[in-house]
């Protein structure tokens, strides 16, 4: 195996892909769209520049669904595995569901994003930062400016202003 390439596939193997490392980031997303699309309490995504991602030439192409304006999710048309995400919000990036990789990646998850949308029935017991959505952050900043709220306890020094986590 070439250490600078990681491969993966859907459940049935019809859609196979490869990425060139390094990845840009890996994070757990708790947004309602990801949870509903995957039928899971959160989805772990790995982000790559588009030019580092490709579907294998002899593999089937995934089907794409516009889940919200400017955002598309890909899945295998044969087995239904949810696989990829792209959005005009993060042009030039492909987000790949971490669990689909059969090869190791170059990093572990570094944050929980959209944590303000997390399900109440799953306890998260790691020490990763918990980011909130931009809308929630904006509302909290507005309320704090009006002395109506305390600072967000989920924010941490990890905040590198990486808005594309969520």
Q: Which run of H or E residues covers position 32?
A: helix 32-38
pLDDT tens, position by position, 50-70: 999 999 999 999 999 999 999
pLDDT tens, position by position, 18-34: 999 999 999 999 999 99
Strands 82-87 and 71-75: what pairing? Answer: antiparallel
56 and 18 Cβ atoms separated by less than 8 Å: yes
pLDDT tens, position by position, 130-153: 999 876 555 555 555 665 543 333
95 and 83 Cβ atoms separated by less than 8 Å: no
Burial of 91 (0-12, 13-18, 19+ CB in 10 A): exposed
The pLDDT of 13-17, averaged and rounded, is 98
CB atoms within 10 A of CB 108: 9
Integer CA distances (angstroms), 4 to 69, 76, 83, in order = 34, 25, 21
pLDDT tens, position by position, 70-84: 999 999 999 999 999
Please give the share of the chain, as a percent, with pLDDT higher than 90.
77
Burial of 161 (0-12, 13-18, 19+ CB in 10 A): exposed
SS3 for 110-165 is CCEECHHHCCCCCCCCCCCCECCCHHHHHHHHHHHHCCCCCCCCCCCCCCCCCHHH
Strands 25-29 and 112-113: what pairing? Answer: parallel
Instruction: Give the pLDDT confidence score for residue 22 in this predicted structure.
Output: 98
| Degrees to nearest 5, angle at CA 12 with 10 and 16 | 45
């Amino acid at each position: 195996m070439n250490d600078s390439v990681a491969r993966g596939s859907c459940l049935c193997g019809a859609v196979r892909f490869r990425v060139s490392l390094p990845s840009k980031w890996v994070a757990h997303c708790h947004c309602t769209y990801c949870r509903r699309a995957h039928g899971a309490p959160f989805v772990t995504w790995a982000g790559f520049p588009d030019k580092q991602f490709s579907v294998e030439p002899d593999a089937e192409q995934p089907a794409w669904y516009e889940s919200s304006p400017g955002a598309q999710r890909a899945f295998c048309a044969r087995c239904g595995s949810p696989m990829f995400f792209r959005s005009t919000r993060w042009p030039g990036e492909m987000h790949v569901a971490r669990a689909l990789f059969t090869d190791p990646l170059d990093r572990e998850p570094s944050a929980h994003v959209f944590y303000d949308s997390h399900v109440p029935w799953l306890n998260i017991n790691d020490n990763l930062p918990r980011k909130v959505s931009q809308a929630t952050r904006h509302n909290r900043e507005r309320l704090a400016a009006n002395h109506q709220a305390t600072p967000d306890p989920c924010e941490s020094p990890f905040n590198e202003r990486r808005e594309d986590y969520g």
